[in-house]
Structure 1
Amino acid sequence: MSDVKAVLDAALDCVVMMDHEGLVVGINPAAERTFGIRDEDARGREMAEILIPPTMRDAHRHGLARYLAGGAPRVLDQRIEVTAQRADGSLVPVELTITRLDIEGPPTFVGYLRDIGDRIEAEEALRRSRTELLRVTDEARRRLERDLHDGAQQRLVGLALTLRLARSQVEQDPAAAVELLDEAQDDLASATEELRELARGLHPAVLTDGGLGPALRGLVARLPLDVSVSGVPERRLPIDVESTAYFVVAEGLTNVARYSGSQRALVEFTLSDGTLAIEVRDFGRGGADPGTGTGLRGLEARVAVHDGRLSLTSPPGQGTTVHVEVPCAS
């Protein structure tokens, strides 16, 4: 018996023993810690009163009575998820398995319980992250549609009209036709540049072909900022990690240019123990609120897909720092 007690005392899962009258025979230390009640205080008390929420107690009592009267077992030897109650009245989700001991005399039951609160919370966080990612993706698609409609599409429509006018003037007024063609050429160049900018926002080809270093150099060259970049990994990382890193820097520097009031920014990468850390820091006015825009929320959702973390520090008057950590293959 001493060996059995040692096993129960060392078990990480909760173990609760109950007799045929529904009274607690004993609980192990894990159950004491989880439910906030000592073994000596639990012994001899009805299990329904100390571990089962009030709304479920009658069902427990009726189920036990039905089984003892010869009814078929419904929950024995099965793994189920239920809600238990702590001594302070708070509820805890648990995974429960109940077995009947093969011993002489009246039935004795053993319940094995595992607190699954952390797992359920993680699953809920994952669902929220996926929902947010879908929302942000849909919002980005609508923004792209607006940008195409209001920008390049309008320029191309105007280009078509200009070309038709030029065609109508070729014979009657060649000089006017040439002017219209020159105008059309300028419109085409503008539309092409706008489409290139949109393409860069989707996924720059240089990132796929050359990696993070060349892509960031191209990004920094297009911004009206003095940007210092350090620690960019020399080796290629998984493309989804590189893409996330690129958009973290792109969004961070775009926010610096738009809102910080600063013309200087620092971008620092650290690759250690299979995690890529990215930090974008400016020296502007600070006081940034991540809840007021969609950019950082979109980044947070993108980072969460990789089981990463994003934090923002922005005390008023002391600049803003965006810090991201993304797991990646070693």
Structure 2
Amino acid sequence: MTAPPTDGGLDRPATSDTTARALVAAIPDPIFRIGTDGIYRGFKVDSEEDLMTPAEEVIGRSVHERLPPHVAEAILEAGRRAVAEQEVQRIEYSMQIRAEERDYEGRVVACGPDEFVLIVRDFTERTLQERVLQRERDFSRAVVRSTPSFLALVDENGTLLGVNRALERAAGIPEEAWLGHPFWKLFIAEEDVPRAREDFVRMRDGEPPGTVEYEHVGPEGERLVVDWTATIVHDAEGALRYLLCGLDVTARKQAEEEIRRSRARIVSAGDAERKRLERNLHDGAQQNLVTVTHSIHLAARSLHTDPGKAEEHLERALVELTTAHEELRELARGLHPQILSLQGLGPAVRALAGRAPISVTVITIDDVTRWHPLVESAAYFVVAECLTNTLKYARAATATVRVAPREHVLVVEVTDDGCGGAAPGEGSGLGGLRDRVEALDGTFEVHSPRGGGTRIRAELPLAMGS
């Protein structure tokens, strides 16, 4: 049940009528009649709580007695100005009410030659809502500005209204230089501009192209590849806008291209290796076996007529057969050394070092630990190829091989004191090693300054599938 309004004589001005009283009663906000001398002459409130003091302590009191000094002065100044200028004045102020900071708006209007009316509205809740909204806007703005994705806001013509910091940095263009230009003018590579304009027209006409990919030109002339999507939004006035979101996929594209090149190199290396095996078999063991076959035929023909001759042919066949066996064993050793399969990586690496004509120090863990065959094989061939390069090109006097697990990887490192200058170019032995290691999701690094020796390091993941 609503309490009747407390009337402190507000409806008793020099001239009053029923209409004026009805209008005053209908206003839900506290109303005060105050003289230009600051003395309260009347009031109307729905609840005495709005007065902050008992009702009998209002009329005849000064605003300076009841209100904080800064509030009293603001009300008096606005009231005197309203009387002098005969125009409505508006003020805002805050006060501590019952240990709570409250925000008020005051409307001040002259109601006589020496008095004015103050209509007070508590807008604390509205202020709190505005502060919350402002914090949300500030948060959203901070997120938009700091997100690593590219963001651009454009109107229905594709004209830029704003960009975020990531897009500014990527293009090397400050935000103010973007505004007013078409989206496709400043950043998109020239050859992709016609397609970008067509895609925007399609989107505006209700046929969104989905994710589109354009090339862009960075501040140093570098090329970036960006995937763009668009979302329809409306601004505070309800105007149609498009939020364009771009994701820099340059690194991904480069990685994909490197994977394609790596696969091509692996296929090419496989073809070359098959041809090498075919050539070695043809020139080596196959020729020996042809000779064996021919010698046995000759021995068979002369076995009854000339046993001595037959014996010579068989001895020749035995020599050729032994040679073919050695050729095949040597060839198999190059594919996968038997010592690696039987004894493990440590003994196999030490065997490699033992055959080198220079001093090679090998540092490994115990010979009992075994790893996945693919890991051991890759590690073995890293050491073999590195030592081969050291002997062929480095003119080194010493080398060191380190093989040891660390956390979740097997670290293989080969260093020498040679002339340096090694590089894993395409088609080279080191390039093939890099492909072999990266095919197992490992890493391969070459540090080889000219005149400063060479350090080659491979890290192979130990968690391999069976």
1:92 aligns with 2:215: no
Q: How many angstroms apart in 2 are the aligned matches of 1:87 and 1:254?
A: 44
Q: Secondary structure at the match of 2:260?
A: helix
Q: Does 1:79 align with 2:211?
A: yes
Change (3 A) 1:86 1:226: closer
Question: Is residue 22 of structure 1 aligned with residue 154 of structure 2?
Answer: no
Whether the 8 Å CA contact 2:360–2:401 is kept in 1: the answer is: yes
Contact 2:423 2:448 in 1 (8 A): no
One-letter amino acid matched to 2:163:
I
Shift of 1:93: 0.9
Worse-superposed segment, 19-28 or 47-56: 47-56
Rounded Cα–Cα distance in structure 1 between residues aligned with 2:233 and 2:323: 81
Q: Are residues 1:266 and 2:379 paired?
A: no
Match of 1:303 in 2: 437
Following superposition, the deviation at residue 138 of structure 1 comes to: 0.8
Write the letter of the residue equivalent to 2:232: R
Partner secondary structure for residue 247 of structure 1: helix
User: C-alpha displacement at 1:27, in angstroms?
Assistant: 1.2
Q: Bigger shift: 22-31 or 206-215?
A: 206-215
Corresponding residue for residue 46 of structure 1: 182
Q: Following the alignment from structure 2 to structure 1, what is the Cα–Cα distance between the partners of residues 360 and 220?
A: 55
Deviation at 1:187, TM superposition (A): 1.8
Distance in structure 1 (CA, Å) of the matches to 2:354 and 2:165? 62
Alpha-carbon distance in 1 for matches of 2:221, 2:450 = 40
Matches within 5 A, 1:251-330: 251-257=385-391, 265-282=399-416, 294-307=428-441, 308-311=443-446, 313=448, 315=450, 321=454, 323-329=456-462
- Which deviates more, 229-238 or 259-268? 259-268
Distance, in Å, in 2 between the alignment partners of 1:172 and 1:87 is 91
Which segment drifts farther, 213-222 or 32-41? Answer: 213-222
Q: In structure 1, what is the Cα distance between the partners aligned to 2:398 and 2:221? A: 55
Aligned residue among 188, 191, 202 for 2:335: 202
Q: TM (normalized to structure 2)?
A: 0.61
Q: Is the 8 A contact 1:313 1:321 kept in 2?
A: yes
Asked which structure has the greater CA Rg, the reply is: 2
Q: 1:144 deviation in Å? A: 0.6
| Unpaired segments ≥5 residues, structure 2 | 1-136
Post-superposition Cα deviations, 1:299-326, rounded to whole Å, max 9, x if no partner, equal 233223234214263746x7x6351313
Query: Alpha-carbon deviations, 1:221-261, whole Å to 9, x = none?
Result: 55556543212565222221211111122233344555666
Matching residue within 109, 126, 139 for 1:3 = 139
Structure 1 residues 49 and 281: CA distance shift in structure 2, 3 A: closer
Give the equivalent residue in structure 2 for 1:101: 233
3-state secondary structure, aligned to 1:101: strand
The aligned counterpart of 1:131 is: 264
Pairwise CA distance, 1:182: 2.7
Give, in whole Å, the separation in 2 of the partners of 1:322 and 1:201. 24
Q: Does 1:141 align with 2:274?
A: yes
Greater fraction helix: 1
- Deviates most, 165-174 or 278-287: 278-287
Distance in 2, matches of 1:67 and 1:283, equals: 63
Query: Bigger CA drift: 107-116 or 168-177?
Result: 168-177
Cα distance change of structure 1 residues 98 and 161 upon mapping to structure 2, 3 Å threshold: same
In the other structure, the counterpart of 1:177 is 310
Displacement of 1:132: 1.0
Counterpart of 1:34? 170
Cα offset, 1:90, TM superposition: 5.3
Q: CA RMSD in A?
A: 3.1
- Residues 179-220 of structure 1 show CA distances to partners (whole Å, capped at 9, x for unaligned) of 333332222111111101111111234433432123334445
Instruction: Please tell me whether the aligned partners of residues 136 and 294 of structure 1 are also in contact (alpha carbons under 8 angstroms).
Output: no
| Structure 1: runs of 5+ lacking an equivalent | none
Residue 187 to residue 131, structure 1, CA distance change in 2 (3 Å) = same
Identity among equivalent positions (%) equals 36
- Aligned counterparts of 1:49 and 1:200: Cα–Cα separation in 2: 62
CA distance in 2, matches of 1:185, 1:215: 31
Shift of 1:94: 0.3
| CA distance 1:212–1:88, shift in 2 (3 Å) | closer
Establish whether residue 165 from structure 1 lines up as the match of residue 298 from structure 2: yes
- Cα offset for 1:9? 2.2
Q: 8 Å contact 1:232–1:268 — kept in the other structure?
A: no
Q: Structure 1-normalised TM-score?
A: 0.83
